Amino acid sequence: MITEEIRRVAELMEPGGAIVVLTGAGISAESGVPTFRGPGGLWRQFRAEDLATPEAFARDPKLVWEWYDWRRGLIAKVEPNPGHRTLARWEARFPEFVLVTQNIDGLHARAGSKRIIELHGNIWKTRCPEEGLVADNAEVPLKAIPPACPSCGAMLRPHIVWFGEPLDPADINQAWAASSRCRLMFIVGTSAVVHPAASLPALAGRAGAQIIEINPEPTPLSPYANFSFRGKAGEILPLLDETLSKISTG
């Protein structure tokens, strides 16, 4: 059944209108990737300070790499879900569509999205701290922990943004620019507590965009959302897409 609110949002999705979608771990939850803060979330089992900071990596790189190797193993076994696939279709449908994700799992790309701003990096990439070279790495499990740079032999690190590290300026600048000129911003599956990602909707809202949140739980951004869909991304996004198709075919 198509609710009135779904129809209203679908009607706002005009063919030429700029749309930004900000995603978080919740969009991959239905694929089987653990979130960070909810029930069963990674930060309920592990301390971020021990695993996701530059200090933790300096102290114990093997431990940090083992944790990422374990997560790579989990992610390698799962598939993108209808939420990821809907966003890939929207990229093809709307010329001014920007996908900004905090996720490092690579599932948006596997679903077919091509223009993705990965604010927190990608678990399938390594970086050489000496030469700065970023390289794809799909080994599961990793052959060596910690892995070494094939060019200079230095210890590689995951190409991930840890707490206290700056985001890539090119990524955050693009995300800021897109957020400040969009007409619609969807916030999908994020607890909206990690900055600067969580500041993007405020930027969009101040510039006059309509804010649409999709999350089974309320977040600090919920009071500022024009529409809040309390449901799963893998159900609400396809429903919106279906409604969009019905509207456009009359």
Binding footprint of ligand BJW on the chain (CB under 6 A): 24-27, 29-30, 35-38, 41, 52, 102, 104, 120, 160-166, 189-191, 193-196, 214-217, 219, 232-234
Residue tagged active-site, from 108, 120, 159, 195: 120
* Distance in angstroms (rounded) separating the CA atoms of residues 87 and 233: 10
Chain position whose Cβ is nearest to ligand BJW: 26
Of the pair 17, 54, the CB lying nearest ligand BJW is at: 54
Q: Which residue in 77, 78, 98 sits closest to 27, CA to CA?
A: 78
Of the pair 143, 195, the CB lying nearest ligand BJW is at: 195
Active site residue 120: yes
* Distance in angstroms (rounded) separating the CA atoms of residues 145 and 68: 10
Structure tokens at 2: 């198509």
Distances from the Cα of 244 to the Cαs of 94, 181, 247, in angstroms?
12, 22, 5
Helix (H) or strand (E) holding 157: strand 157-160
Write down the least CB distance from residue 11 to ligand BJW, Å: 23
Write down the least CB distance from residue 6 to ligand BJW, Å: 15
Of the pair 25, 204, the CB lying nearest ligand BJW is at: 25
**Could you tell me if 146 and 137 are in contact, meaning their C-beta atoms sit under 8 angstroms apart?**
no
Write down the least CB distance from residue 119 to ligand BJW, Å: 7
First to last CA, the chain: 17
Of the pair 100, 184, the CB lying nearest ligand BJW is at: 100
Enzyme catalytic residues: 120
